[in-house]
Amino acid sequence: MKKISFKFAISLLMTSLLVSCSDNTSTTLNNLDAQTASIQSAQTNKKREAKYNIKLKVKNRLEATDLISHGLDLSGSGNGGNFDAYATQKQIDYAKSKNINISNAKNAIATNAGLPTGYHTVSQVLDMVKGMATKNPSIASFIDIGDSWEKTTGKSPNNDIWALVLSGKNVNPKTKSTAVFISGMHSRELLPVEINLKLMDYLISNYGKDPQVTNYIDTREIVFIPIANIDGRIAVEKGESMWRKNRHIDSNYDGIDLNRNFDGHWNFEGVNPLTPELKDLQSQLSEKNSEIYSGPNAFSEPETQTLNNFFKDKNVTVMMDMHAYGNMLLYPPGYDTSAKSDPTTVKVAKYMAGKNGYKTGTSLEILYATCGTSKDWGFDKHKAISFTMEMGDDSDGFRPPFTKVEETWAKNKVGLTYLVSIADNPVQRVK
Ligand SMILES: [Zn+2]
């Protein structure tokens, strides 16, 4: 930890030398678009406080964690202490009271924008994936693996969670290893769904042509979950551009952050000692209006239950959950300074970073503390090589122009394919 704090201090020093010292703290937010509340209530009859897209600058990781603990929804890599944030006026006032440097976002995200041109809708994504399976019946199947919250409640009868499963002729069902690629868990993060489509298409269309790809599919199982949070993604398409959680919305709840709802040190369970910093964060995880509300218990949500049940008896060796943004590759544990990361995972991260240039580390080391995420579950439950990848530059945000898809795929094609290549036996493959 000492080394990390030192590094962070150096990067802050560098940044403070480079960045001009203009005082933005007095910026008023009255001129920002505050349509959010009314638009959101149109779909859910839920009254919410208006939120604003802002940029802020923290002095260190603890300060970032404190803001998150006070409800600010931070995104981006935090390079030089700079984050994007989505926050209510009250939360902004809290940050100001802590002398945090705040400025308006240059490109405030429109709250009713639908999808940017080029991005595929849920129905287009599912049609494409289904099409891939239909055209390649000997190696691919398109499977309904479970239901979303809105399906379980009858509100949206078609909202199933779908998987594309690739596995070829030589896969022994008893000993097969499974590589998992998840996207769309946080509904506002658009790039990962497109990258997951690219990966599926690349592997399927090279089957029988590229001997290596053919061998991967013939000898292991590769499972893609293109849209893990279908209700949330549909809400984004209908106009709630900043929606992150699932749509478990009723008199008690206002959505649950699926990527805090996994049984992997959920709510810092088993973390000892719980520092004051983590205790504060724990109370925010239990705050129902929070963007990181982790639910009443681990796997309380049908979406996370679906993933847990589907993979329960599989030999999952690789778990990649694709998110946006910040060009980071995060591995477990995200919650504990004393626990060590799996050495094979660290080696894989280094290899991938050599290809995509992303920053690697645990979220605690390079971002802020996390728990109950898919990557924690991937490691805790399956002992898999388990990652959260944050795709896209800080300037990309959640909704980069569609041209970014090709660029991001070009950066990540080798690394993602590498994960497939080691999935049969990571420890042996990764020297
Ligand atoms: Zn995310």
**In 286-390, at which residue ranges do the beta strands (DSSP E only) sit?**
315-323, 328-330, 359-361, 385-390
Q: Are residues 249 and 360 in the same domain?
A: yes
Calculate how far, in angstroms, residue 34's C-alpha sits from the geometric centre of ligand 1: 23
Q: Which of 69, 104, 139 is the last residue of a domain?
A: 104
User: Is 115 part of any domain?
Assistant: no
User: Is 112 part of any domain?
Assistant: no
Calculate how far, in angstroms, residue 54's C-alpha sits from the geometric centre of ligand 1: 18
Closest CA to 73 of 249, 241, 242: 242
Calculate how far, in angstroms, residue 225's C-alpha sits from the geometric centre of ligand 1: 15
Q: Identify whether the C-beta of residue 310 lies closer than 8 Å to the C-beta of residue 228.
A: no
User: Is 220 part of any domain?
Assistant: yes
Q: Are residues 269 and 309 in the same domain?
A: yes
Q: Identify residue 300 by its one-letter amino acid code.
A: S
Calculate how far, in angstroms, residue 207's C-alpha sits from the geometric centre of ligand 1: 31
Q: Are residues 131 and 261 in the same domain?
A: yes
Calculate how far, in angstroms, residue 337's C-alpha sits from the geometric centre of ligand 1: 22
Q: Which of 78, 104, 130 is the last residue of a domain?
A: 104
Q: Are residues 140 and 100 in the same domain?
A: no
Q: Are residues 342 and 269 in the same domain?
A: yes
**In 29-159, at which residue ranges do the beta strands (DSSP E only) sit?**
51-57, 73-75, 82-88, 101-104, 140-147
User: Is 116 part of any domain?
Assistant: no
User: Is 111 part of any domain?
Assistant: no
Q: Are residues 63 and 189 in the same domain?
A: no
User: Is 117 part of any domain?
Assistant: no
Calculate how far, in angstroms, residue 174's C-alpha sits from the geometric centre of ligand 1: 33
Does the bond joining 273 to the residue before it have cis omega, within 30 degrees of 0? yes
Residue 281: which H helix or E strand, with range? helix 276-285
User: Is 71 part of any domain?
Assistant: yes
Q: Residue 140: give its domain's CATH number.
A: 3.40.630.10
Calculate how far, in angstroms, residue 189's C-alpha sits from the geometric centre of ligand 1: 6
Q: Which of 49, 72, 104 is the last residue of a domain?
A: 104
Strand, coil or helix: 375: helix
Q: Are residues 44 and 192 in the same domain?
A: no
Q: Identify whether the C-beta of residue 377 lies closer than 8 Å to the C-beta of residue 263.
A: yes
Please compute, for residue 147, the number of CA atoms within 13 A of its CA located in the half-sphere on the CB side: 11
Calculate how far, in angstroms, residue 381's C-alpha sits from the geometric centre of ligand 1: 21
Q: Are residues 85 and 138 in the same domain?
A: no
Angle between helices 191-205 and 403-422 (to 10 degrees): 60
Calculate how far, in angstroms, residue 379's C-alpha sits from the geometric centre of ligand 1: 18
Residues 6 or more apart in contact with residue 177 via CB below 8 angstroms: 220, 221, 315, 316, 317, 423, 424, 425
Calculate how far, in angstroms, residue 339's C-alpha sits from the geometric centre of ligand 1: 23
Calculate how far, in angstroms, residue 198's C-alpha sits from the geometric centre of ligand 1: 19
Phi, psi of 95 (to 5 degrees): -60, -40
Q: What is the pLDDT of residue 42?
A: 55
239 burial level (CB within 10 Å; 0-12, 13-18, 19+): middle
Q: Are residues 85 and 140 in the same domain?
A: no
Calculate how far, in angstroms, residue 303's C-alpha sits from the geometric centre of ligand 1: 15
Calculate how far, in angstroms, residue 294's C-alpha sits from the geometric centre of ligand 1: 14
User: Is 363 part of any domain?
Assistant: yes
Q: What is the DSSP letter of 322?
A: E
Q: Identify whether the C-beta of residue 216 lies closer than 8 Å to the C-beta of residue 169.
A: no
Calculate how far, in angstroms, residue 138's C-alpha sits from the geometric centre of ligand 1: 33
Q: Identify whether the C-beta of residue 367 lies closer than 8 Å to the C-beta of residue 67.
A: no
- Per-position pLDDT tens, the chain of length 431: 334 444 444 343 333 333 333 333 333 343 343 344 344 445 677 788 888 889 999 999 899 999 999 999 999 999 999 999 999 989 999 999 999 999 875 445 555 678 999 999 999 999 999 999 999 999 999 999 999 999 999 999 999 999 999 998 778 877 899 999 999 999 999 999 999 999 999 999 999 999 999 999 999 999 999 999 999 999 999 989 999 999 999 999 999 999 999 999 999 999 988 999 999 999 999 999 999 999 999 999 999 999 999 999 999 999 999 999 999 999 999 888 778 999 999 999 999 999 999 999 999 899 889 999 999 999 999 999 999 999 999 998 999 999 999 999 999 999 999 999 999 999 999 98
Calculate how far, in angstroms, residue 226's C-alpha sits from the geometric centre of ligand 1: 14
Calculate how far, in angstroms, residue 320's C-alpha sits from the geometric centre of ligand 1: 12
d(CA 72, CA 87): 5
209 burial level (CB within 10 Å; 0-12, 13-18, 19+): exposed
Number of domains the chain contains: 2
Closest CA to 246 of 235, 238, 237: 235
Q: Are residues 137 and 69 in the same domain?
A: no
Q: Are residues 99 and 131 in the same domain?
A: no
Residue 34, domain extent = 2-104
Strand, coil or helix: 234: helix
Q: What is the pLDDT of residue 109?
A: 54
Calculate how far, in angstroms, residue 81's C-alpha sits from the geometric centre of ligand 1: 19
Calculate how far, in angstroms, residue 331's C-alpha sits from the geometric centre of ligand 1: 14
Calculate how far, in angstroms, residue 369's C-alpha sits from the geometric centre of ligand 1: 14
Q: Are residues 96 and 146 in the same domain?
A: no
Calculate how far, in angstroms, residue 183's C-alpha sits from the geometric centre of ligand 1: 9
